[in-house]
Homo-oligomer: A and B are copies of this chain.
Amino acid sequence: MMTENSELPMALRSAYLAMHRQTDLALQRSGVTADQFVLLATLSRGDALTQRELARRMPSDPSTVRAMLVLLEKQGLILRDVHPNDSRARTVAITAAGNRKFRQLWKATESIRSKMIDSIQPIRVSDLISSLRKLSAAMERGN
């Protein structure tokens, strides 16, 4: 029997959107969106990235990231400075308030991460992650 070829794409889409919806729901009272949470998490990992490097790591589009940074800057959660060596670039860093906020968001989303992990056989979790990464890599490679 030939498996419906679109099962994998559809399953991937469904899983991502479900996660995104649940995260937005869990964070709705915090004034921060699911994607802003991803941005803050990325920033809290490495400090003083350029906007482009930040976008690369999320991964997201530089122009999308810019719009998000404008909003986060208004909330005082991140800060942008001129780059010391490259006057084209700007460095982005998370503020102290941003870090406090992030820790709070991390707790608020803990149950979502647990649900994700618990829904899968423990032994397969790393396989799943590995598969998803291979999948990303295969598609990023231009062709």
Instruction: Give residues in A with beta carbon < 8 Å to B.
Output: 3, 5-22, 38, 41, 59-60, 112-113, 115-120, 124-129, 131-140
Inter-chain pairs besides A6-B41, A8-B128, A15-B139, 9 sampled, C-beta below 8 Å: A9-B116, A12-B132, A14-B132, A16-B16, A17-B59, A18-B135, A118-B138, A119-B134, A119-B139
The answer to whether A113 touches B17, judged by C-beta atoms less than 8 angstroms apart, is no
Verify B139–A116 contact, CB threshold 8 A: yes
Would A124 and B125 count as touching, CB distance under 8 A? no
Could you tell me the distance between the alpha carbons of A117 and B139 in the complex, rounded to whole angstroms? 11
* Copies of this chain assembled into the complex: 2
Helix, strand, loop or mixed for chain A's interface? helix
Q: Which residues of B contact A19 (CB under 8 A)?
A: 9, 12-13, 135, 139
Query: What is the CA–CA distance of A124 and B59 in the complex, to the nearest angstrom?
Result: 25
Across the interface, which residues of B come within 8 angstroms of A127, CB to CB? Answer: 124, 127
Q: Is the CB of B113 within 8 A of A138?
A: no
Q: Which residues of the other chain, B, contact A139 by a CB distance below 8 angstroms?
A: 15, 18-19, 21-22, 112, 115-116, 119
Contact at B124–A138, with CB atoms within 8 Å?
Answer: no
A116 touches B8 (CB 8 A): yes
A26 CB to closest chain B CB (Å) equals: 10
A23 to chain B, nearest CB (A): 8
Asked if residues A7 and B120 are in contact (CB atoms below 8 Å), the reply is no
A13 to B8, CA, bound (A): 15
